[in-house]
Amino acid sequence: MPSVNTPSPDTAPAVPATTTASTPGVPVAEPRAPHVVVVGGGPGGYEAALVARRLGARVTVVERHGLGGAAVLTDVVPSKTLIATAEWFTMAEQGPELGVRGEAPSGERRDLVDLEAVNARVLALADAQSRDIHSRLEREGVEILVGTGRLDGPSRVVVDTETGTTTLDADTVLVSVGATPRTLPTAVPDGERILTWTQLYGLDELPEKLIVVGSGVTGAEFAGAYQALGSQVVLVSSRDRVLPGEDMDAAELLEGVFRARGMTVMSRSRAASAVRTEDGVAVTLTDGRVVEGSHVLIAVGGVPSTAGLGLEEAGVRLSASGHVEVDRVSRTSVPGVYAAGDCTGVLPLASVAAMQGRIAMSHALGDAVAPLKPGRVAANIFTAPEIATVGLSEATLRERGYRYVTTTLPLARNPRAKMLGMRDGFVKLFAHPDAGVVLGGVVVAPRASELIFPITLAVAHRLTVDDVADSFTVYPSLSGSVAEAARVLHGQSGEGLAG
Ligand SMILES: Cc1cc2nc3c(=O)[nH]c(=O)nc-3n(C[C@H](O)[C@H](O)[C@H](O)COP(=O)(O)OP(=O)(O)OC[C@H]3O[C@@H](n4cnc5c(N)ncnc54)[C@H](O)[C@@H]3O)c2cc1C
């Protein structure tokens, strides 16, 4: 279990091995039950382990660091805990407008942040959640083996533990080994000034000037959070705008908000290298410009942890990027070997990893199974405002030549938003022009992650805009804009045709 002060799983001491099958009160697998071996105890792995136990299998989870995986220990939980603190400052900005006295005139914001305390809380929460998952798996009778696993053929897993090597024979193997931050050979992280996102929580002082390389979801989230905490932030984006691949209106709005808050956003700028200077860092761009700062965060995506795992030797097909190729029920190219989560490259989300893992076990153990539907996945970017999306995006609708109608309602028109002093955001819906079925939606708002759910229900259950519009919303409420957008689409047809 990583200690509270350990930001990186690479340095985390191991969890002691536990075998709990004979503990009183703990469910015990039938002697002839199939043996499922799960390599990697992140959301892709531990959720699968629970399903497999429920379906009567004997289950062993092999995990080299801590249960919960990167999602709990270095990625989702730590970043969202840090963002919760940053959010507080963003909300406080609205204070004076709402009649709340702001900061003392002399007080610099960055001096108000006790980063050591913030980071200690972040890591303590991550650690506690990992322990909770560990206990839950034990209670359900899952065997937990601390060590590094690799396949020895399709039905055997060899595990290197602190005390030696163990071999597990398996009827089914689930590979859910996740990914690690991609680094650049010309910008080698040192954990002090040149950082990956797993190393941020080791800082004891807020960076004075943070350069964030990469403007995808991770880069944008950290850039926004550190800017809110009081760092001066430079976001280096290789594309025309931040968040390439996301809804264009949402990305443009966020970039505008970032700039208005004082962030420097460098578009069409690609980092070539980062080196330490006497008291900070210098990032050289491919066009020769040099950006100086106190710290640099490299957020240029992840690399699947599939190297040296014996996958190709076992016949498991990998893509050129090293991701495990899977179908929609998480099968690999080898019968009996399944894969879930970031190592598959399907969608790098904890929720998707967990769903792939559950689907894999249901399929392997003969339970009813519905294949993964990537078009129904709800996702959120935890910036301020948040950007939540579900269903088909406008880009996909256009690419596929689908007919659709759409409307966008600015948040500034919503009465509740006015009362809360919220101006930046919108609700956008896409629907079929004839049937009125809701095809997708985008919400840009504070807590968009919560507001997206009615649209998720509509997409999942093929509700029409009239179904949504006819449902009561609280007055005044932000969700009123979701129903209002559906009302606007009522009866519209032929507008916004693709192509
Ligand atoms: C900064 C950041 C923020 C994010 N925020 C969100 C968010 O808000 N919401 C969301 O849905 N997603 C978020 N994600 C994505 C999310 O973290 C991943 O999609 C999720 O962790 C994938 O789960 P996984 O089980 O595939 O892998 P992981 O969580 O990476 O778990 C894999 C586990 O396998 C173990 N392992 C690897 N190799 C071996 C081996 N050979 N033997 C034994 N064990 C091994 C590792 O130690 C690890 O514990 C975020 C990602 C980042 C980088």
Region 147-167: mean pLDDT is 98
Q: Which of 123, 137, 7, 154 is nearest to 63 (CA)?
A: 137
- Between 11-20, 86-95, 125-134, 365-374, the lowest mean confidence (pLDDT) is in 11-20
- Please tell me the predicted confidence (pLDDT) of residue 5: 30
- Please tell me the predicted confidence (pLDDT) of residue 50: 97
Q: Is the CB of 158 under 6 A from ligand 1?
A: no
Going from the C-alpha of 462 to that of each of 435, 458, 465, the distances in angstroms are 10, 6, 10
Of 209 and 21, which is predicted with more confidence? 209
Q: Is the CB of 160 under 6 A from ligand 1?
A: no
456-498: pLDDT as tens digits: 999 999 999 999 999 999 999 999 999 999 999 987 754 433 3
- Please tell me the predicted confidence (pLDDT) of residue 6: 27
- Please tell me the predicted confidence (pLDDT) of residue 28: 66
- Please tell me the predicted confidence (pLDDT) of residue 252: 97
Closest Cα to atom 19, ligand 1: which residue?
349
Model pTM score: 0.91
Closest Cα to atom 1, ligand 1: which residue?
75
Establish whether the linkage from the previous residue to 31 is cis, with ω within 30° of 0.
no
* DSSP reduced 3-state for 219: helix
- End-to-end Cα separation, the chain, in angstroms: 53
pLDDT band at 7 (very low <50, low <70, confident <90, very high): very low
pLDDT above 90: residue 101: no
Q: Which of 326, 356, 306 is nearest to 43 (CA)?
A: 356
pLDDT band at 112 (very low <50, low <70, confident <90, very high): confident
Q: DSSP string covering 415-441, please?
A: HHHHHHT--S-EEEEEE-TTT-BEEEE
Closest Cα to atom 51, ligand 1: which residue?
75
pLDDT band at 3 (very low <50, low <70, confident <90, very high): very low
Closest Cα to atom 7, ligand 1: which residue?
76
- Please tell me the predicted confidence (pLDDT) of residue 352: 98
Give CA–CA dist 250/34, Å, rounded: 48
349 Cα nearest atom in ligand 1: 19
The letter for the amino acid at 77 is V
Region 287-291: mean pLDDT is 97
Going from the C-alpha of 78 to that of each of 4, 221, 347, 451, the distances in angstroms are 12, 12, 20, 23
pLDDT above 70: residue 434: yes
Give CA–CA dist 438/347, Å, rounded: 22
> What does pLDDT average to over the chain?
91
Going from the Cα of 463 to the center of ligand 1, the distance in angstroms, rounded, reads: 33
170-211: pLDDT as tens digits: 999 999 999 999 999 999 999 999 999 999 999 999 999 999
Closest Cα to atom 38, ligand 1: which residue?
177
- Please tell me the predicted confidence (pLDDT) of residue 111: 78
Region 296-316: mean pLDDT is 98
Closest Cα to atom 15, ligand 1: which residue?
349
Going from the Cα of 218 to the center of ligand 1, the distance in angstroms, rounded, reads: 13
- Please tell me the predicted confidence (pLDDT) of residue 13: 31
Region 112-136: mean pLDDT is 96
- Please tell me the predicted confidence (pLDDT) of residue 183: 94
Q: Which two three-digit tokens encode residue 279?
A: 């008291």
343 Cα nearest atom in ligand 1: 26
Region 86-108: mean pLDDT is 78
* Ramachandran angles phi, psi of 339, nearest 5°: -145, 150
Q: Is the CB of 75 under 6 A from ligand 1?
A: yes
Q: Is the CB of 350 under 6 A from ligand 1?
A: yes
271-286: pLDDT as tens digits: 999 999 999 999 999 9
pLDDT above 60: residue 134: yes
pLDDT above 80: residue 102: no
Q: Angle, nearest 10°, between helix axes 248-260 and 217-229?
A: 20
pLDDT band at 31 (very low <50, low <70, confident <90, very high): low
Closest Cα to atom 6, ligand 1: which residue?
76
309 Cα nearest atom in ligand 1: 41
Region 337-355: mean pLDDT is 97
What percent of the chain is predicted at pLDDT more than 70? 91
pLDDT above 70: residue 332: yes
- Please tell me the predicted confidence (pLDDT) of residue 493: 55
Region 426-450: mean pLDDT is 97
Going from the C-alpha of 385 to that of each of 83, 380, 406, 470, the distances in angstroms are 12, 11, 21, 27
Give CA–CA dist 463/147, Å, rounded: 47
62-81: pLDDT as tens digits: 999 999 999 999 999 999 99
Q: Is the CB of 433 under 6 A from ligand 1?
A: no
